[in-house]
């Protein structure tokens, strides 16, 4: 974790015009929760993309991906430069700092998932599953009130400091934030909340159709498969994984953020949480391709497509009517 914190500070130092570090919460063990805000500076408030990693301690590929993503943002790429002018990126490399540090202690702690808040009185176990703690149908599905359970949702909704940090920061910016991405592993899936269409481009019907040569049913899946051939299934949690309440992505959607995705990165069960180091780069590359696909659509939908269509149509009508007016004036 120390390495990650130092690296974040270094990124800010090297790119002061584009990157700022924001401390936005404290963990149970009083460690700071920080994000990097990346985007060209602007006088007025900008729209934004939210990404968080490391909610679950053992999912080590997740913080690795956030760092990869941050590295990609400030590289010179014309499309990314345009998006950074119009939007800010809020990226949290590690949300569950206590849990993450604990999972690095030794071999016996590697598979820890929750945070490190002590259990209720009389409980010999500790930890709350942060992705069951958010205030959306809290404590109803996919949870256990046994405090030793790995899906213990906490003593109440948003009881946990880490969940509170996101709730406060994102909650104060729901008009700004267009897209909420939360990164997990493993399973190779992209999860969308209840009833949300699994699309991410202007013409929805173009995306959701069967591609004959692959088993991908969405363009998002195809975009990711192109990179290294890995298949990611897109769908709602209840359909492709299991039902559960209190998740950050469902909460984000409830706040009105229209695009909320949970990424479940590599692999599909062979190594599971202990993904080999030589897979970090390719896993990040394909996840980046997926994230970019979503972000580009969100950006274009907000800043490009609708405006140009309306303006073009209006301009056409105006020109036509002018021509008619001039003609009729001349004749009459």
Nearest to 49 by CA among 220, 178, 200: 178
Q: What angle do CA 234, 236, 238 make, to 5 degrees?
A: 130
Nearer to another protein, 7 or 273 (CB): 273
Give the residue numbers annotated as catalytic, written as ranges: 264
To another protein, the closest distance from the beta carbon of 253 in angstroms equals 8
Nearer to another protein, 23 or 204 (CB): 204
To another protein, the closest distance from the beta carbon of 189 in angstroms equals 9
Tell whether the torsion through CA atoms of 143, 155, 99 and 176 is positive or negative: positive
Burial 92-117 (b: 16+ CB within 10 A, else e): bbbbbbbbbbbbeeeeeeeebbbbbb
Nearer to another protein, 57 or 91 (CB): 57
- The radius of gyration computed from the CA coordinates of the chain, to the nearest angstrom, equals 22
To another protein, the closest distance from the beta carbon of 239 in angstroms equals 5
Distances (CA, A) of 70 to 7, 18, 24, 39, 315: 11, 11, 18, 11, 40
Residues 6+ apart with CB under 8 A from 155: 120, 128
Token reading at 318: 């105006």
Interface residues toward another protein, by CB under 8 A:
104, 106-111, 113, 124-125, 129, 136-137, 140-141, 148-151, 187, 194-195, 215, 217, 231, 233, 235, 238-243, 250, 253-256, 258, 268-277, 279, 301-302, 306-307, 310-311, 314-315, 317-318, 321-322, 324-325, 328-329, 332
Nearer to another protein, 30 or 106 (CB): 106
To another protein, the closest distance from the beta carbon of 298 in angstroms equals 10
């Amino acid at each position: 974790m120390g390495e990650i914190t130092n690296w974040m500070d270094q990124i800010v130092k090297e790119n002061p015009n584009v990157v700022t570090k924001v401390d936005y919460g404290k963990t149970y063990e009083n460690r700071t929760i920080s994000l990097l805000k990346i985007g060209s500076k602007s006088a007025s408030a900008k729209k934004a993309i939210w990404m968080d990693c490391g909610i679950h301690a053992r999912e080590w590929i997740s913080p690795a991906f956030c760092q990869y993503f941050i590295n990609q943002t400030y590289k010179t790429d014309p499309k990314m430069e345009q998006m950074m002018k119009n939007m800010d990126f809020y990226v949290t490399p590690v949300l569950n700092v206590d849990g993450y540090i604990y999972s690095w202690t030794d071999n016996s702690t590697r598979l820890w998932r929750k945070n490190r808040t002590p259990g209720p009185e009389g409980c010999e176990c500790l930890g709350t599953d942060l992705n069951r703690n958010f205030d959306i149908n809290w404590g109803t599905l996919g949870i256990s009130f046994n405090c030793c359970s790995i899906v213990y949702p906490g003593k109440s909704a948003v009881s946990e400091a880490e969940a509170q940090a996101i709730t406060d920061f994102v909650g104060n910016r729901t008009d700004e934030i267009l897209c909420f991405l939360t990164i997990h592993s493993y399973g190779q899936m992209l999860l969308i909340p209840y009833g949300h269409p699994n699309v991410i481009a202007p013409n929805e019907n173009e995306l959701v159709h069967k591609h004959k040569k692959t088993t991908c049913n969405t363009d998002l899946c195809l975009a990711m498969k192109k990179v290294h051939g890995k298949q990611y299934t897109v769908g709602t949690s209840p359909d492709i994984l299991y039902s559960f309440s209190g998740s950050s992505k469902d909460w984000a959607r409830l706040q009105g953020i229209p695009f909320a995705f949970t990424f479940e990165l590599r692999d599909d069960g062979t190594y599971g949480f202990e993904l080999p180091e030589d897979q970090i780069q390719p896993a990040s590359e394909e996840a980046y391709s997926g994230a970019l696909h979503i972000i580009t659509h969100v950006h274009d939908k907000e800043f490009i497509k609708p405006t140009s269509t309306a303006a073009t149509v209006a301009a056409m009508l105006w020109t036509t009517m002018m021509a008619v007016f001039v003609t009729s004036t001349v004749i009459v």
